[in-house]
Structure 1
């Protein structure tokens, strides 16, 4: 029973740590005084709650660290449904190929 409990605790830690796609980008020395550049846009130092490409970032003089605000659907009816990125909600919508106004059921997502 103790080993099962330890397994559950370990899995819960892994799930909480792995909930979003994250990356770091080092700043160029000549840009370090102005802020952080990402996809051609200059962001100020500090916390950025949402970039144009749906990332939450932290900008410092040495680097920009970002994590996605969205999770990619992987478990859905791939034969009848398609994935469309919704820039307003910063998430993927899964809709019927034959009728994009109707949503499909999503069983799992990855970040």
Structure 2
């Protein structure tokens, strides 16, 4: 039992310290003079706290770098539960398939 708790605590620490998924786009000269486009929406130059798709971005004339505000659940009861993206919170909810009003336990997430 102690070993299981140790592993569980270690996984929680690792998941907490992990970085979100990030990507970078390099602009061609003159491509981003009015801002940066993410999924068809133009955002102004500078820091973007939250896009419609739940990313935080930095936009300049040279390029754009964005990181997700969410982490994807990977360890949960896949037979009894399903993953649903909550756009208001920019996070995934793991809920019971039979009763989506009830949450499921998640043991690990990746960014």
Question: TM-score surpassing 0.5?
Answer: yes
SS in 2 for 1:109: strand
Q: CA RMSD in A?
A: 1.8
CA distance in 2, matches of 1:37, 1:17: 29
Moved more, 67-76 or 28-37: 28-37
What pairs with 1:1-111 in structure 2 (closer than 5 Å)? 18-111=18-111
Give the gaps of 5 or more residues in structure 2: 1-13
Runs ≥4 residues deviating over 6 A? 14-17
TM-score, normalising length: structure 2: 0.82
Q: How far off is 1:18 after superposition? A: 4.0
Alignment check: 8 A CA contact 2:54 2:69 kept: yes
Q: Which has the higher contact order (CA 8 A, sep 6+)?
A: 2
Alignment check: 8 A CA contact 1:36 1:43 kept: yes
Give the gaps of 5 or more residues in structure 1: 1-13
Alignment check: 8 A CA contact 1:54 1:90 kept: yes
CA distance in 2, matches of 1:66, 1:90: 14
SS in 2 for 1:106: coil
CA distance in 2, matches of 1:15, 1:105: 14
Distance 1:106 1:17, change over 3 A: closer
TM-score, normalising length: structure 1: 0.82
